Amino acid sequence: MPILNSPENAEKVPLLQDSTERREPDGDKEEEGEEGDQSLARRVWVESKMLWHIVGPSIFSRVASYTMFVITQAFAGHLGDLELAAVALTNNLIIGLDFGLLLGMASALETLCGQAFGAKKHYMLGVYLQRSWIVLFLCCILLLPLYLFASPFLKLLGQPHDIAELSGVVSLVMIPLHFSFAFQFPLQRFLQSQLKTAAIAWVSLGAFVVHVLISWLLVYRLHLGVVGTAMTLNFSWWVLVLGMFSYTVCGGCPLTWTGFSTEAFSGLWEFVRLSAASGLMLCLENWYYKILILMTGNLENAKIAVDALSICMTINGWELMIPLAFFAATGVRVANELGAGNGKAAKFATAVSVATSVAIGLVFWLLIMFSHDKLALIFTTSRPVLEAVSRLSVLLAFTILLNSVQPILSGVAIGSGWQSYVAYINLGCYYLVGVPLGFLMGWGFHQGVMGIWAGMIFGGTAVQTLILAIIVWRCDWNKEAQKARIHVNKWADTK
């Protein structure tokens, strides 16, 4: 499969790269007449092709990246229940807290690079990328104690002593993985915003192959146990970083990468503000389900409960790579169109993305409902854990269905630059409604892990999704396009 976005093939994808050139701003009557002449089916087909050009490679790259975590957790699960719980707790709490914040901060590039690319301010994309590296690397240094003191931190949160001790060892081994996030997340969004998704997919394939080989070597040949399973992620994620960086600086992005620039050190305050808002918005979402696992760790028979819920969250996270690909594609499409002044096109892209993602979510909802008793076999053969996962599968199915809508609406927020606004919504829905309701149902009504999860899904996630849907539905897209053009000029002038 050729890399569609390489310089020599750039002319082969004019539909995407020139889409913003051919449209006039929304207020233009010519665009209204053009839209009226096209059938709805034709418009959906054209938008779907543009959407899937981003979604297809994004799904592959995200599934490949996440599968690395799944493989690591599966190896740990076959070592024993304690090892599975330790690796699962590290992945879902220590790395999860870190991952959510850094991923959110890097998502500022989806707004900045996406709108700048739509407005043809190509040079600024490289400057934004370097600013993001600086900000995220400093943030990694500040977050380093989370890995160094993971064991006492988990004990303080009420986790069982033996699980917390082994999780602390795993966390120390994964410090190189932690620093890879500061470079990989910005690179991915930099390439994604200019439709270089095929390059991301090829690099992800290479990293996945490396991960499988390293896992076999360290676990089966060298018998390094749980430490070996944790080390594999360090190798594969740095392959991702080096692969994307090499593509970027070796001619893959001739318009947007012109070399390192001292401009990256100027205008950092405005960049930090938007990155912090993006980080807060997404980490409040990401941390929400980490709190679910943390609360479960304080139940009776916590080891089985944590194992079962961690497996469900891993399956949910695996499938979530599809909605997150739509999240990324929607953010890019909305940002590109708003940056080019095409508000109606941004609205239509949102509608097509939500409808497509929901259709896929329904398929997975049915799949989970009909295969609930076989879901956990890839991770464990423990009968109590298998039975616990089967009981939780109904909640897993509805979580997946809600996740087919919510990330796409968050992608609209990222593409439009609404991060600060949505962060307040997430705070209220998740932590003032969802967490208290989960606590009430789990302990007040003695429903255990099922009560905690149900309260957090139907109390927090569902309410947040409804509010975001209303905001997107009532949005004045023409006004958002005008604001985007003003912001692009403002950010580009920040020296």
Q: Identify the CA nearest to 7 among candidates 335, 259, 333, 257.
A: 257
Which residue blocks in 248-301 are alpha helix, DSSP H?
A: 268-296
pLDDT in the model for residue 21: 42
Half-sphere exposure of 168 (CA within 13 A, CB side): 17
Residue with tokens 């991770």: 379
Half-sphere exposure of 15 (CA within 13 A, CB side): 14
pLDDT in the model for residue 175: 93
pLDDT in the model for residue 205: 92
Tokens of 83: 């090892």
**DSSP secondary structure of 241-255:** HHHHHHHIIIII-TT
Tokens of 418: 């609404």
pLDDT in the model for residue 95: 86
pTM, entire model = 0.76
**1 burial level (CB within 10 Å; 0-12, 13-18, 19+):** exposed
Tokens of 447: 């429903």
pLDDT in the model for residue 62: 85
Centre a 10 Å sphere on the Cβ of residue 241 and count the other Cβ atoms it contains.
20
- Rounded to whole angstroms, the Cα distance separating 171 from 214 reads 19
- Rounded to whole angstroms, the Cα distance separating 299 from 27 reads 58
DSSP single-letter state for residue 460: I
Judged by DSSP in three states, 268 sits in helix
The H or E element that residue 408 is part of is helix 406-416
Residues 477 and 343 sit within 8 Å (Cβ to Cβ): yes
DSSP single-letter state for residue 159: -
Half-sphere exposure of 53 (CA within 13 A, CB side): 23
Judged by DSSP in three states, 26 sits in coil
Buried b (16+ CB within 10 A) or exposed e, 439-454: bebbeeeebbbbbbbb
- Give me the average pLDDT of each 10-residue run along the chain (495 residues): 38 39 43 56 90 88 84 78 81 81 83 83 88 92 92 84 87 93 93 88 92 85 81 91 94 89 80 79 75 71 74 83 88 86 89 93 91 77 84 89 88 81 86 89 82 86 90 88 77 56
Residue 465 CA: distances (Å) to CA of 34, 254, 347, 488: 33, 39, 17, 28
What phi-psi label fits residue 204: left (phi over 0), alpha (psi between -120 and 50 degrees) or beta? alpha
